[in-house]
Amino acid sequence: MTERIVAELGRAETPQETADRKAESSRAYRSSKTFRNLLAALLATMAIVVVVVLAVPRGQLAATPAPDVAALAQSLSASMNRAVIAPATPTGWTVNQAQVEGDSVSAWTIVYVPDSAGYLRAAQGFDADSGWVVRTLSGAASDGTLAIDGIDWTRYDISDPSKAGNVSYALATSAGKDTILLYGTATAAQTAELAQNLTAQIRTLREAAQ
């Protein structure tokens, strides 16, 4: 058998050198094959991602419809067997929530958005005790009264909203056994506008309680 002369060595390989050379060649082959497989898998994954992205329909999600305050109030009134407020939404305002909430006092609450910078809650506290308003406003003190369409409202003009649950202005009045509270970050004029829309319903609640 003719021995293989290795140019770098100037002589024939020893059996150990031959074995080492073949082992290194196998290692290099396996390494290059692993890298090629990894690259191929990565390219395949990227191709799948591109296809999925291109296949997903474009367009905006449908906007969630605003709560139907009148319909919800009517249903709630029937289930509770009591009158429930449903003030007309002032022009240009939107409603993003209408539900019963609260712990010790349940309140039918409607959240209005009069503009991009504020919100206003209209809450009917059912059989609310005398401390409900103060608790809801985190202890804020009143600073006088305000008459709107013959209804006297207690006014809360809060100088530090951070201490009153992010509420800067509020109006409260009794409505028979219940208490109506308007509160949020809306302006005094916006709050008064909503209060005007409640005048007839507040009188109805007061008359029903007599």
pLDDT digits (tens, 9 = 90+) for 87-121: 999 999 999 999 999 888 999 999 999 987 799 99
Residue 103 lies in a domain: yes
* Pair (151, 82) in one structural domain: yes
Distance CA 187, CA 203 (A): 24
Q: Residue 190 is inside which H or E element, if any?
A: helix 188-197
* Pair (113, 23) in one structural domain: no
* Pair (125, 157) in one structural domain: yes
In our burial notation (b when 16+ CB lie closer than 10 A, e otherwise), range 175-196 reads bbebbbbbbbbbbeebbbbbbe
**How many domains does the chain fold into?**
2
* Pair (50, 108) in one structural domain: no
Residue 145 has pLDDT above 80, yes or no: yes
Residue 84, CA distances (Å) to 70, 101, 132, 134, 206 in order? 10, 14, 18, 22, 12
* Pair (44, 75) in one structural domain: no
Which residue carries 């019963």 as its tokens?
100
Distance CA 73, CA 85 (A): 7
Q: Residue 170 is inside which H or E element, if any?
A: strand 169-175
In contact, 95 and 109? CB cutoff 8 Å: no
In contact, 156 and 172? CB cutoff 8 Å: yes
* Pair (166, 104) in one structural domain: yes
171 Cβ neighbours under 8 A, 6+ residues apart:
146, 148, 153, 154, 155, 156, 181, 182, 183, 191, 192, 195
* Pair (25, 51) in one structural domain: yes
* Pair (95, 9) in one structural domain: no
* Pair (51, 76) in one structural domain: no
Segments forming the whole domain that contains residue 92: 69-209
**CATH code assigned at 191:** 3.40.1000
Give pLDDT tens digits for 3-58: 555 555 555 667 776 676 777 776 766 665 565 666 666 666 776 766 665 666 65
* Pair type for strands 11-12 and 94-101: unpaired
**pTM attached to this predicted model:** 0.70
Check residue 175 and give left, alpha or beta (phi > 0: left; psi -120 to 50: alpha). Answer: beta
How large is the average pLDDT for residues 141-170?
A: 93
Residue 157 lies in a domain: yes
Residue 21 lies in a domain: yes
Residue 61 lies in a domain: no
Residue 195 has pLDDT above 90, yes or no: yes
* Pair (151, 187) in one structural domain: yes
The residue among 58, 133, 142 whose CA lies nearest residue 102 is: 133
* Pair (153, 194) in one structural domain: yes
* Pair (88, 43) in one structural domain: no
Residue 64 lies in a domain: no
Distance CA 192, CA 197 (A): 9
